Chain A
Amino acid sequence: DAMVIQNPRYQVTQFGKPVTLSCSQTLNHNVMYWYQQKSSQAPKLLFHYYDKDFNNEADTPDNFQSRRPNTSFCFLDIRSPGLGDAAMYLCATSRGDSSGGPYNEQFFGPGTRLTVL
């Protein structure tokens, strides 16, 4: 089945120790998103890729970086995790359309729960 896969499902890191979360998809979607979600709040968009074009949200801290080496994979790098970065990180994909607006729904992975000690 086509899907969005996130690894690991649970990640524990130490304060200030860099960590990388990964996302892969078999849907061949051209748009990939990274969200941060804290304790049942609404997901907060960090950034997204439309094909290779990177789109950063204005309020995403510089501590968060992303890479998309190919259509299938996308990585979230947290350079120096703080206690406030503990959260669920969700990856999503959609079939973007150049005519504008995501009228195609987003498909979410199961998330990676990050704990910062």
Chain B
Amino acid sequence: AQSVAQPEDQVNVAEGNPLTVKCTYSVSGNPYLFWYVQYPNRGLQFLLKYITGDNLVKGSYGFEAEFNKSQTSFHLKKPSALVSDSALYFCAVSPTSYNTDKLIFGTGTRLQVFP
């Protein structure tokens, strides 16, 4: 079965420290991978994606993610966290074998950055 796992419900980090939000996936074939962020009472906002090529992907607001095929992971990272990064983060995947326009979302990780 195709699935996405975000093993941490919440990640706490102090402002200025590096942050990592974890994501692993299980799909058949090569995946397209995405990260979205959701602020309170708002829709999801696209951060970055991996389609092919360089395993390190850079996105909005200083976020980056590393695709690791052997570990089937796509962890979201940022070198220095800001309080304003506090939000709900969703990893999503679309298997290329799907041939559809649908995403499989992870359960979300709430990031809390403390001043």
Contacts and interface: CB of A to CB of B under 8 A. Distances in A.
Interface in A94-117: 94, 96, 100-103, 105-111, 113
Interface residues of A, number: 29
A48 B101 contact: yes
Contacts, number: 71
A113 to B, nearest CB: 7
Interface stretch (B15-23, B40-48, B68-76, B78-86): B40-48
How many of chain B's residues touch chain A, expressed as a range?
20 to 34
B44 A41 contact: no
B63 interface: no
A90 B102 contact: no
Nearest to B107: A42
Interface of B: 32, 34, 36, 41-46, 49, 51, 88, 90, 94-96, 98-103, 105-108, 110
18 contacts: A4-B43, A41-B107, A42-B90, A55-B100, A90-B43, A100-B99, A100-B100, A101-B32, A101-B94, A101-B96, A101-B101, A102-B32, A102-B102, A103-B32, A103-B51, A105-B46, A108-B44, A111-B43
